[in-house]
Structure 1
Amino acid sequence: MNKSKTGLITAMTKCFLVFAGLISLVSCQTEPPKTDAYLFVYFTGNGPGEEAIRYAVSTDGYNYRALNDNQPVLDSKKISTSGGVRDPHILRGADGKTFYMVATDLYVPEQGWNNYAMILMKSTDLIHWETSVINIPETYPDEFGEVDRVWAPQTIYDEQTGKYMIYWSMKDRGAHPDIIYYAYANKDFTGLEEAPKQLYFPPAESNTKACIDGDIIPFEGQFYLFHKAEDGDPGIKLAISDKLTEGYQLVSDKRVDSQTVPVEGSGIFKLNNSDDYILMYDMYTSGRYQFTKSADLQHFSVIDEEISMNFHPRHGTVLPITWEEYNRLMTTYGKTDDLFISATSDQLKKSNVVIDGEKKTIYLPVKVGTDLAAFDPMMTAWKGITVAPEGPQDFSKGSVEYTFTIVGQDPVSYSVLASEDHNPALVGFYADPQVLYSQKTGKYYIYPTSDGFTGWSGYYFKVFSSDDLVSWTDEGKILDLKAGDVPWADGSAWAPTIVEKKVGDDYKYYYYFSGNYVAGGGKQIGVAVADNPTGPFVAEKEPMIKESPAGRGQQIDPCAFIDPVSGKSYIYWGNGYLAAAELNDDMISIKPKTIKVLTPKGGTLADYAFREGIYVIYRDGTYYFMWSVDDTGSANYHVAYGTSKSPMGPIKVAEKPIVLIQDAANGIYGTGHHSVVKLPGKDEWYIVYHRINNKHLNDGPGYHREVCIDKMEFNADGTVKQVTPTVKGISPVQ
């Protein structure tokens, strides 16, 4: 039998004949239709209402949007015996127009991880489904009466028999491991023809033979079985066979996924009009999905940065679909309060665009200097949605009405408003901003943590410059830890600080930062030196601060301070504790005997409890110590302060210690880890801080942060007025 690279029949029609006295037609497989889009079928979690089948679509295989407002498309209580449906797998039938879906019948809130049944489903339009339930111990009491796990079924068409084979993992109440079984579905796809048989036999030397989540794809005349194996290095493994139902041999005990953390739920599919395949899987302990790509199905590269989803899937599968099928799904499940649209103009702060489906409004924050009288937001929509008007519009007088039409539905109008906001000050995800006014250049600079990296895994530092604290220029990278710019660190480029110091007739710039110490010991603090505020910076070969003087916490979040009274230089740092030390004249080492723990105490703990992000300023004979409270991923992350008569404390917590805190009513959260700048020659102060991008408040909030600037003022008695965080930001300063 001739197969293409994907194992699909290339002839227009291929029929299989079986001789049993008379010639009879068993099955007829047609060439699959041309597919141009994708359907992602998934569930979302283990809680009530989450174990249900949901749909999302994509036009490119990389960017997905949930249909039906991410609500179920089938009622789990009607199609299951447990009330929960998990691990859906969808398949296009051999005739090209019938669809088969199978899923786990399990409701975790009541059953835990023990279940007995799976669900078989059949459809001709992806909308209406005929469903059946197979309870394994009830159907096969002699062979499988003790089974209490029936997990993650999948379906594949067997060209040799003309039947649909279902395969899944099972385990009984004994000490036996999970085993992958198979059986053929009956003609109506409502049950099994006979008792299940074992499909995959792990190697005899496997120390743990448990295998679940089988996922088979034909490839170059063979069958590739991806599965989650618990032996050796637990993860997704690959076994290959020349036959669909037997002979699978493990390729390697090494994982084919690209993770070191637990994963499950392999889902592999071929990209339309491409020789590449996507292997995706559920990082179920990390709360996210990962996508990888391969041309040979054995070597995969991570493509997470190319993937976008506005939902959080659990164990699902992707099916290539036609435009006709895509439009049918859009007509049925597309919602006017969840439009598949985006504004793509380079003049926009795209991360801050707000589309409110309930209010039918769109808010477009534009970059500084955008001409609102002739602004084209370049509104784009997914296939199946039309947009009017097109081209530049006059937003200078207020909102402009746009009309959107989903295929097969009535048009809907949205009110679209464009505005020049100055917060965030920097475009993109950045955090822990340290601001500097340079005497040498007469400019302002911001040195942030580069954010947007999962798990705070940023590895480089950048600098931005401005003449007015409003218009910022990206001056590029100043240190790249992956490129070897910091000999002692290989990642976790966090929370820098910088000071400008007059040395002779010129200035030097001392840049302190946290990094992951390659020699062990976790996060430590080092220094780099430059002759100009934009570099080039040269890092010292070893970290400057390696140990916690408090015996706990990480060595992170340095703050350097030159005392205008004594001329002495100090450095402060800490996570869960606050430490201080005097710097030597070389500015790259500390005086060990001056190290002191200054953790503030007093007041209402929730308001002031020191976490990190210390910053020190001097004003009118008083040293102001400011720091961040709570966790950087918390909406309540905020800035508190205390005062001292000395740069080495002790610190007295202010009676009203909160300097800056969230404004939930205006969608501003997690305002913290700040720095402060004073305008030269004036008693005028500005606070530079980060906030959580409100689209990501519940989605990686600790690493979707953005830099903002607002004015900071003092009362007549020297106390700090609480700052109101704004979206509008500040006006340009002179």
Structure 2
Amino acid sequence: MNYKTMTLNSISRVLATALMLVCSIAGAISAAAGQGNPQPKPKDIYGYLYCHMSRDGEWTAFALSRDGIHWHDLNKGREVYDTRKLSEIEGGARDAYIARAADGHGFVMLTTDMCVARSRKWDNYGMNLLRSDDLIHWTARTFDFRKGPQIFCDPESPDPYKDYSTIRRVWAPQAIWDPTYRWKDGTRGGYFIYYSLLNDKEEGYDRMYYSYADRSFTRLTKPRLLFDWGYATIDADINYVRADGKYHMLIKKEGGKPGIFTTKAKKLTGPWPQPDDNDFVSFEGKRKCEGSSAFQIAGDDGWRVGYVEYSSRPARYRICKADRYLSHFNSPQDIIGVAAPQHGSFVALTKEEYERLDNYWRQYDSVVTRNPVLPEFHADPEILFSDGKYYIYSTTDGFPQWGGTFFTCYSSADMKNWTYEGVPFDVTRDTRWAKGNAWAPAAVEKNGKYYLYYSADDGKGKAIGVAVADRPDGRFTDSGHPLVTTDPSGHRGGHVIDVDVFTDDDGQSYLYWGNGFMAVAKLNSDMTSIDTTGVKVITPRGGTLDDYAFREGTYVFKRNGKYYFMWSVDDTGSRNYHVAYGTADSPMGPITVARQPIVLRQRPMDGIYGTAHNSVVEDPRSGRWFIVYHRINESYLKTAPGTHREVCIDELHFRPDGSIIEVVPSR
């Protein structure tokens, strides 16, 4: 054999070896990422993310855990993206499902586009496909199935319905990566998205369907029927189980023997046989369950299954164990550390992913102090920062029919430790015209003086007065006459109460007041009279008692050139009493109600009710913002609702676009 022949043979052997190595590497990658959704290597798993609908509302919330057992909420359990913006149909997100993207970088999420709180019905019409590179910033594509074939990327495929417009339910979508799927252009791989549909004009019950989405998670194929067992099936969860090399589906049966069952198949498209009725989540007895989601904890050969037990009030989110074959369910317990868990899913995170997400939301989690911050009963708190101290002026509560006659003042250097400064003003002692019902003070520093505005009864009805002092803690001297005594010209109904004062950057001060209406007028330079020729009614229009219908308690502040208007919704004695907001380009309106208007509301699972009538302050030293508000003392909910209130403080956070992140009231 000559040198040339040996060289060619050697080259051939090298090439063959290299080809085998490439094939081996490709096989390893396929084995790691080809079956089911990609996961970090067990040694790289640092913690876990629970992505779920909140029991407090129809938005997506996050919780983190190092061990998959003990969890802590991010953003205090509130939404982790702008729900109304990314749920274009109804502005609500339910049944959140999250998975690592097919290439192992970034994440995909699916939600049911649905908001029962607004629509008052359990119908919905589409789903949201979301994508993120960092679990913080999300983009979305919404698919409204009522629009029919035009929303799908395969117009040549057969249609499951004659008429898409009569679809009534598109529920609980989830996804698993299918490397075998081939697109029309020859591209391989797609997200197998499965969900239940109901078009009651053409089918008698909810059935499981599937579509494929491309790698961009923005293109979706037409629905195809996955299976029909002859009765309603919803809330499917598919996982690849390496122990037997099959796909296992957990699913809620609503026919036959109802409950959460498991079935398995060799391919994602089935066939999926009816489940074994002897292997299901049986330990809940007659209590109803749904919304299952299976996951594994690193180092544990078996599985964990989360699910909703919704016979209890409130519903409970439970996690049980299963064996390595995702069967034989056992050892259920309530999820630990999540305040408002609901239908959701789980994904393993690396250390970098976990810490980035945790650190991002921790900046929004700080609480000033333990609430309530003042002793005994106080309401309608007004906060003022002056000369290095905070001052709170409040209605003195605890009297029948809100019959207090004086205001109290407390001061603090840190908003944690408050000192009683006495009674700076008593309407029966310090005025000639007011008879009682000293309500809802507002305070402002200007012209080297301090002005205290308030509501009181002048014997004919409610009116607004003003008193002046040289010090923030008083004692205040009344101006001698009411500032406002009647409704704005042409307006009927409501009361002249709940005053607020805002001073703009140019030094002009504005007075706001009203129950049942929101009125505004410019204050004259003496701060004790108004420009009566320019009184305007700028009441935010629309809304319901569940969202933003204006009642009272206006508060105005300015941030980054934008004017924020806050107000209270519903009655002061109502458990639903809460704060909503809108913005304007002028201190005299008009007001545009925020897309997500609720700033603060009750949290009954923590015994917190009637959270409303607020003021706001920016700490000039740190740039942090705080909301001061009252809540109803739980002990008096039945006997005297709304007359035994307590003053609380929580931090107020804003998104980059200036919108307010809903506050989670703290204990």
Q: Indicate the structure with greater helix content.
A: 2
Q: TM-score range by the shorter chain?
A: 0.3 to 0.5
Which of structures 1 and 2 has the larger relative contact order (alpha carbons within 8 angstroms, sep 6+)? 2
What TM-score do the two structures reach when normalised by structure 2?
0.46
TM-score calculated relative to the size of structure 1 = 0.42
